[in-house]
Amino acid sequence: MNAHPIIDPDDGPAYANLTHDHDVAMKTAMEGGACQVSELTFRWRFVLTVPKAVDQAGMASPTRSMWNGFVAAVKRHEETHRAIFLRCGAKFVPAAKRLTAAGCPALERKVRRSLDQAYQACLLEQRAFETRDRPHILGLAFVKAATSQ
């Protein structure tokens, strides 16, 4: 894992990572003298990458047990990141749908700006989770065994 690490685009070498991107499709329409969001679709795409042992079958039983615990923990860690993103989306999409403006081009800019701001707030939640969970990951038996040599 040290010789061929998983590269996190934001943080560099990692034990595992969750890459993501998103897109927004929006329709707006004038109604009652104001432009309103008539349709808003926000779609996430995630790719979860976890390490794979070259020869798991060849590992001694205690090592294999530590390895399996490690992989399960980093997968849970990355799935928590995904859950945070999904929770953020569940909050900011409905809020963006309620926005209005005098004109539709202005509303589209306002919605995108709102989504960008909500995404940045979500990244703060991600960083906070990372800070809280990192000691757990670094304290796993496999990590301790691998880094003590």
Is the per-residue pLDDT at 149 higher than 60? Answer: no
Q: Which domain holds residue 115?
A: 6-147
Residue 61 lies in a domain: yes
Rounded (10°) CA dihedral 94, 100, 106, 111: -10
Give 88-127 pLDDT, tens digit per residue: 989 988 999 999 999 999 999 999 999 999 999 999 999 9
Residue 84 lies in a domain: yes
Instruction: Tell me if 1 is assigned to some domain.
Output: no
Q: What is the rounded CA–CA span in Å between residue 122 and residue 44?
A: 13
Asked if the structure places residue 63 within a domain, the reply is: yes
Which among 89, 84, 81 has a CA at the least distance from the CA of 16? 81
Whose tokens are 């969970």? That residue is 133
Residue at 50 is within a domain:
yes
Please check whether residue 52 is in contact with residue 59, taking contact to mean a CB–CB distance below 8 angstroms. Answer: no
Q: Does the structure show a pLDDT above 90 at 148?
A: no
- The string of pLDDT tens digits covering residues 3-51 is 777 887 777 888 899 999 988 899 999 999 999 999 999 899 999 999 9
Three-state DSSP state, 90 = helix
Q: Which residues contact 87 (CB under 8 A, 6 or more apart)?
A: none
Q: 46-94 pLDDT, tens per residue?
A: 999 999 988 889 999 999 999 999 999 999 999 999 999 999 989 988 9
| Cβ-Cβ contacts under 8 Å for 100 (sequence gap 6 or more) | 34, 35, 36, 107
Q: String of b and e for 21-44 (b: at least 16 CB within 10 Å)?
A: eeeeebebeeeeeebbbeebebee
Do the domain assignments include residue 95?
yes
SS3 label, residue 36: strand
Q: What is the pLDDT of residue 11?
A: 75
User: Which one, of 128, 130, 137, lies nearest residue 51 by Cα?
Assistant: 137
Instruction: Name the domain count of the chain.
Output: 1
Q: 35 lies in a domain?
A: yes
